[in-house]
């Protein structure tokens, strides 16, 4: 999806925090999502945030939304090797019935 952009790769050391960034272009986006894809598997919803929120925390995950800059980030605290995966940002525009996905960020956690 051209409308949603992510950097392709991120490497962190085990125990550090990871921050995965995403930018989107449509100001009418209502919901923004983070999905995780492990090797050989489908996508799993990690968390989502409604556009009238600016932060959401769920255990080790923190989502920050800057609507002015159309910037979304996912912070993973105390990153573990099991967090190694591809992380997709996705947006739902207005009343659209489908999601628009970014290209995914490959997170590699080094021991």
Partner 1 sequence: NAGVTQTPKFRVLKTGQSMTLLCAQDMNHEYMYWYRQDPGMGLRLIHYSVGEGTTAKGEVPDGYNVSRLKKQNFLLGLESAAPSQTSVYFCASSHQLNTEAFFGQGTRLTVV
CB of 14 to partner 1, least distance (A): 27
CB of 63 to partner 1, least distance (A): 15
CB of 23 to partner 1, least distance (A): 13
Q: From CA 87, how far away is CA 13, in angstroms rounded?
A: 17
Residue 44 binds partner 1, judged by CB under 8 A: yes
In DSSP terms, which residues pair with 6 in a beta bridge? 22
Residue 63 binds partner 1, judged by CB under 8 A: no
- In contact, 13 and 109? CB cutoff 8 Å: yes
Q: Which stretch binds partner 1 (CB under 8 A): 12-20, 55-63, 67-75, 99-107?
A: 99-107
Residue 59 binds partner 1, judged by CB under 8 A: no
Residue 19 binds partner 1, judged by CB under 8 A: no
Torsion from C-alpha of 9, 84, 13, 81, nearest 10 degrees: -170
């Amino acid at each position: 999806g051209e409308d949603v952009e992510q950097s392709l790769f991120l490497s962190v050391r085990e125990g550090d925090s990871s921050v995965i960034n995403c930018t989107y272009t449509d100001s009418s986006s209502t919901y923004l999502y983070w999905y995780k894809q492990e090797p050989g598997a489908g996508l799993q919803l990690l968390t989502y945030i409604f556009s009238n929120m600016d932060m959401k925390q769920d255990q080790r995950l923190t989502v920050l939304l800057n609507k002015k800059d159309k910037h979304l980030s996912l912070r993973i605290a105390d990153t573990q090797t099991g967090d190694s995966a591809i992380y997709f940002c996705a947006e739902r525009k207005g009343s659209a019935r489908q999601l628009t996905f970014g290209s995914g960020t490959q997170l590699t956690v080094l021991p």
